[in-house]
Structure 1
Amino acid sequence: MTFENAQNLWHQTCAEQVEAPVLSSDVTVDLVVIGGGYTGCSAALHAAQMGASVCLLEAEEIGHGGSGRNVGLANAGLWLPPAEIRKHMGDGPGDRLVSLLADAPRLVFDLIARHGIACEAVQNGTLHCAHSPAGFKDLQVRHTQLQSSGAPVDLLDAEETAARTGSDAFYGGLFDPRAGTIQPLSYARGLARAAVQAWAQVYQNSPALRIQHDGDVWHVETAGGTVRAKALIHATNAYHRDLASSAPEYVPVHYFQCATDPLPEALRATILPGGEGCWDTGLIMTSFRMDEAGRLVIGAMGNLGHAASDIHRAWVRRKLIELYPELREVPLGQGWHGRIAMTSDHIPKITAIGPRAYAVHGYSGRGIGPGTVFGKGMAEALITGDDMRLPIPAIDAYHEWMTSARQIFFETGATLTHLFKARF
């Protein structure tokens, strides 16, 4: 079984393509966007729809980073429950962010429908599954807070959760009907394709090598040309390259996934029959969902690129059998991993990196909805000059502490958990 990123299921099943050549000339635009993930593509699309001239630069291919490697759960909100967001941000900004991200799935699925993005979109909700009695208590707290914020969520007992998941491994669940699943790489490339159709210029394999402001406009240099722009958005998140002027500070956390071969119809009828996407309450979280062809995609925190990664690989099979004993003999055909930009408070950060310029990072594993919302908000703020369009207030700088040590801590914790857990 191969777990290289070349075995990324999303690359194999991506139905969207975008014409994005290498930048080979000098360009002058209203807005330059660096980064071709959800944030950058959303920013480019929305700015172009407002009538602005836009140039997007992606160092690799569109969706190369986390946007083409994640689980594909289009959730409402962040990992944090609403009260924790307000605690960190204050009531006013916290209420605004909670409200915007509560509506994030609607924005995502509306964009998919409006632009005909072929990304296996299923808006049948998500299930946050309690892996223990303590996990169910956490879901009860989240349920109360979410309902008080107006979210239409339902708390499910163990029996109902088993009926919806097809597994009796959980003590209950929290169902959110606003959310759903997508083919994540197809969504990113579909946004880029829609941006091109709105007359944005999109270039890939065109890394930004130098960024500077001359007192009037921004200059972004690549190997093949230079982009001059009145405004700039830096949206590279956990896949930032060596551009010190806007380098984000975060804790890199890896997340890996594996996919079964397509399941027989009889099994598909009993495993996630309603099409929900799922994750559990474990500290080292497990996610699982079904794709359009009936593959079960299962993932967890961990890096498949180091010497001890065989521990993660062995755990996948054990966890799959723990959840669904009937899949004991089903092959796992693909495996891949990506990076998450984690902040200490699990809240994204927008930094003002110069005149009419923003950088954003730190979705902490919730990139699809927040990335789409933040890209749209930053584009609107820069094009209109109204910073109230930003989803959160911009700050001058953001600093994290002991990022390398904490990265090692998270990966060691994931490795040890996977070494000892789900053993029979």
Structure 2
Amino acid sequence: MLNDERSHGLWEKTAPPAPATRKLDGNISVDVAVIGAGFTGLSAALHLAETGTSVAVLDAVEIGYGGSGRNVGLVNAGMWVMPNDLPQVLGQVHGERLLELLGNAPQSVFNLVDKHKIACELERKGTLHCAVGKSGIEQLKQRTEQWLARGASVRLLSAEETAEKVGSTVYAGALLDNRAGTIQPLAYVRGLATAAIAAGVAVYTGTPVTSTTRSGDRWIVNTPAGTVSAEWVVVATNAYTTSPWPELRAELLHLPYFNFATPPLPEEVRNTVLPERQGGWDTKEILSSFRMDQRGRLVFGSVGALRGTGMAVHKAWAARSIRKLFPQIKDITFEAGWYGQIGMTNDNLPRFHTLAPKIISFSGYNGRGIAPGTVFGRVLAEHIVGKVSDADLPLPVTKPKEEGLRTLREGYYEVGAQLAHFVGNRV
């Protein structure tokens, strides 16, 4: 996008075209204005339109420009936080409610893909959280036990079972989550946009929001060439938030994450690397992720930004790591490399905010945007139409709180990832 091959990489090359959109030019009136054409915003718009609510979606750049079009494509259940820790952080009611919502979130994604016939390379084979060493397997034992106690379809695999499913012998075990899967994320978000437009949603791209003003009982959303009058405003911009809600950006730490994609692997190699097509990631602090696309490309990623010296450092590290993890891949080259920003919160949990009367937002997906973004979009829609009250929300209603030393810490993450990848191998 924007002629930048490092923004969306492989996904831009292989996704179906985005539906036709245009810039907002003039003044319109709808029930709900949605800011951000990513998973959350488009899911909210689609679910609202299906209730007969009129909706306009505004995006400063393009459909899926932010994290929705750049991520790895793992459709995960739950968050990074251990299941038993959620009620301790959020309270028993919200904690268990969020666990149930997010535990079932991948199935909600699959249902939307089926219902709207979205061509997004969907694989429903689960995901593999792979253990590095004794500490990794102990962590996964706890996570498995806690999910099993809630009836989840998960299983702790032995080292031998993990080797069969990954195609590598380096891991001590893995948590197989049968609820989860993989998709081509840019294709999925473009499919959501196509479905929303078909349901009556107006989608405007290249249309940044400059300010909002109150006019009677409605909001006026101002853009460079027009306005949207709406009763409700949904802010769904997450890590790519700019004005007029700087407080959302201020509470998130940006964590850069990159991916490299190989050309399609030879068939004999493809049959040995993730042969069942699960996506995976490991338990290291600076984690790595890996998955296959539909044509047999290995997509391999980790923390870091592909800019400045980062491009050479992370690319060399990725090649070394793949060579160690998958020695059956003899010639390692990359046909695409790209990166984006993950919006991290101080407790690794998302936020539901009321920014002003009838201006609401979800943000802070902490690297788990696909399934949570999809179901939170639905929750926003249900809240607006009165189906879900404040008391029934999966998160408490809060105000944004600025994260301290944000700029310094973000720089530390980017430089630290380079240093770790300059000197280190994968496992």
Interval of TM-score (by shorter of Structure 1 and Structure 2): over 0.9
User: Which residue in 2 is equivalent to 1:184?
Assistant: 185
User: Which residue in 1 is equivalent to 2:60?
Assistant: 59
Counterpart CA distance in 1 for 2:277 and 2:283 is 20
User: Is 1:410 the counterpart of 2:413 in the alignment?
Assistant: yes
Distance of aligned partners of 1:339 and 1:211 in 2 relative to their CA distance in 1, 3 Å threshold: same
User: Is 1:422 the counterpart of 2:403 in the alignment?
Assistant: no
Asked if the contact 2:66–2:340 (Cα under 8 Å) also holds between the matched residues in 1, the reply is yes
Mean Cα displacement is larger for which, 201-210 or 324-333? 324-333
Asked if the contact 1:256–1:337 (Cα under 8 Å) also holds between the matched residues in 2, the reply is yes
Mean Cα displacement is larger for which, 125-134 or 93-102? 125-134
Runs of 4+ in 1 over 4 A off after TM superposition: none
Per the TM alignment, residue 245 of structure 1 is displaced from its structure 2 partner at its CA by 6.3
Letter paired with 2:275: P
User: Which residue in 1 is equivalent to 2:393?
Assistant: 390
Per the TM alignment, residue 382 of structure 1 is displaced from its structure 2 partner at its CA by 1.2
User: Which residue in 2 is equivalent to 1:368?
Assistant: 370
Q: Which runs of 5+ in 1 are unaligned?
A: none
Counterpart CA distance in 1 for 2:43 and 2:376 is 8
Mean Cα displacement is larger for which, 190-199 or 236-245? 236-245
Counterpart CA distance in 2 for 1:66 and 1:72 is 10
Asked if the contact 2:127–2:180 (Cα under 8 Å) also holds between the matched residues in 1, the reply is yes
User: Which residue in 2 is equivalent to 1:72?
Assistant: 73
User: Is 1:359 the counterpart of 2:365 in the alignment?
Assistant: no
1:353-406 CA distance string (max 9 Å, x none): 111111221100000011011111011101227334533121133332221122
Counterpart CA distance in 2 for 1:410 and 1:397 is 22
Letter paired with 1:384: G
Per the TM alignment, residue 246 of structure 1 is displaced from its structure 2 partner at its CA by 5.3
Mean Cα displacement is larger for which, 179-188 or 414-423? 414-423
- CA-based RMSD of the aligned residues comes to 1.6
Match of 1:265 among 260, 264, 267: 267
Distance of aligned partners of 1:379 and 1:389 in 2 relative to their CA distance in 1, 3 Å threshold: farther
Give the match's secondary structure for 2:397: coil
User: Which residue in 2 is equivalent to 1:116?
Assistant: 117
Counterpart CA distance in 2 for 1:232 and 1:83 is 34
Letter paired with 2:413: F
User: Which residue in 2 is equivalent to 1:142?
Assistant: 143
TM-score by length of 2: 0.96
1:203-256 CA distance string (max 9 Å, x none): 111111111223411111112210000001001001111214653321000000
User: Which residue in 2 is equivalent to 1:48?
Assistant: 49
1:108-147 CA distance string (max 9 Å, x none): 0000000010000011000000122211111011111111
1:63-120 CA distance string (max 9 Å, x none): 0010110000001011111112122111110000000000000100000000010000
Mean Cα displacement is larger for which, 36-45 or 378-387? 378-387
Per the TM alignment, residue 308 of structure 1 is displaced from its structure 2 partner at its CA by 4.0
Counterpart CA distance in 2 for 1:329 and 1:423 is 18
User: Which residue in 2 is equivalent to 1:231?
Assistant: 232
User: Is 1:24 the counterpart of 2:25 in the alignment?
Assistant: yes
Identity %: 44
Q: Which runs of 5+ in 2 are unaligned?
A: none
Asked if the contact 1:378–1:390 (Cα under 8 Å) also holds between the matched residues in 2, the reply is no
Give the match's secondary structure for 2:399: coil
User: Is 1:377 the counterpart of 2:349 in the alignment?
Assistant: no
Distance of aligned partners of 1:95 and 1:7 in 2 relative to their CA distance in 1, 3 Å threshold: closer
Distance of aligned partners of 1:173 and 1:317 in 2 relative to their CA distance in 1, 3 Å threshold: same
Asked if the contact 2:247–2:402 (Cα under 8 Å) also holds between the matched residues in 1, the reply is no
User: Which residue in 1 is equivalent to 2:203?
Assistant: 202
Counterpart CA distance in 2 for 1:175 and 1:423 is 21
Counterpart CA distance in 2 for 1:175 and 1:153 is 6
TM-score by length of 1: 0.96
1:133-167 CA distance string (max 9 Å, x none): 21111101111111112211100011000000101
Number of corresponding residues: 422
Give the match's secondary structure for 1:371: helix
